[in-house]
Amino acid sequence: MEVVPLGSAGQIAAVAAGIVEAVVRRKPAAVLGLATGSTPLPTYRELLGRHKAALGPSYAAVTCFNLDEYVGLPVGHQQSYRATIARELTDGLGIGADRVHGPNPSSDDLPIAGECYEALIAAAGGIDVQVLGIGSDGHLAFNEPGSSLASRTRIKTLTAQTREDNARFFGSLDEVPTHVLTQGLGTILEARHLLLIATGETKADATAAAVEGPVSASCPASVLQLHPHVTVLLDPAAASSLDRLAHYREVYCAKPAWQGF
């Protein structure tokens, strides 16, 4: 795991956008895994800015898979993750809706929606780089504490904490769905590169538990310790509870120029 303490959310956006772009330059038909929430928005804005300035790679052959989706919102709801990703990133990059996939919550067959989504990801050849945020309770995607470290895409019930955290996107807490479809932790581990971004003090303890704590279903994001290629980008507030912060700084300062992420 490469833990990179950076100076600001803006610096994180620049580095994270560079990582995504490098994947697409190397592999024009790359498969991107996309997260929603507030954390990746500066990165998405950076990618869009570079694309509009014709500084980015072509996204013409790229396919995207969303990490999760609410269950129970009307089709096309502005807070659905399908609508959010289109609005915040993929429309602006010129990636058509037919190449942006998400777990299907409106399916009459919710019990097999996870299985169908896994099959779609496999048919696309797997995810090359997966953007991830972390919940204040340590959740990864919508895998709440207690989720199996081997879990696959399936329906989950949100914790009260997560519904409260996400109420800011809705008119009231009552409007936040109680259920979601989410990639499982085992699904996420199959992406070739995991890019976790955390910003703000509310993420400090969860980030420390994920990076330095024991691997445990009590902190689902700790499953990242089992993956061979993880990059963790942190602002000073999110990095503030790490015991080995000074070491991560030294490692990043001494990072060989040729190495990349």
Instruction: Please choose, out of 53-61, 120-128, 131-139, 180-188, the segment that lies near ligand PGA by the rule CB under 6 A.
Output: 131-139
**Closest by alpha carbon to 147, among 255, 222, 52?**
222
Interface segment toward ligand PGA; rule CB under 6 A; list 11-19, 34-42, 46-54, 231-239 = 34-42
By CB under 6 A, is residue 133 in contact with ligand PGA?
yes
* CA atoms within 13 A of residue 257's CA, in its CB half-sphere: 0
Site size for ligand PGA, by CB under 6 A?
7
From candidates 34, 39, 84, 196, binder to ligand PGA by CB under 6 A: 39
The closest alpha carbon to 231, from 132, 156, 147, 106, belongs to 132
**Is 174 part of the annotated catalytic residue set?**
no
Beta strands in the chain (DSSP E): 2-5, 31-34, 63-66, 68-71, 100-101, 129-132, 154-157, 179-182, 193-198, 230-234
144 assigned to active site: yes
184 contacts ligand PGA (rule: CB under 6 A): no
Count CA atoms within 13 Å of residue 85 on its CB side: 25
Q: Decide: is 135 part of the binding site for ligand PGA (CB under 6 A).
A: yes
**Binds ligand PGA by CB under 6 A, chosen from 3, 20, 85, 134:** 134
Cα 31 from Cα 24, distance rounded (Å): 8
Q: Active-site residue among 21, 46, 51, 68?
A: 68
Instruction: List the catalytic residues.
Output: 68, 137, 139, 144
Positions in the binding site for ligand PGA (CB under 6 A): 37-39, 133-135, 139
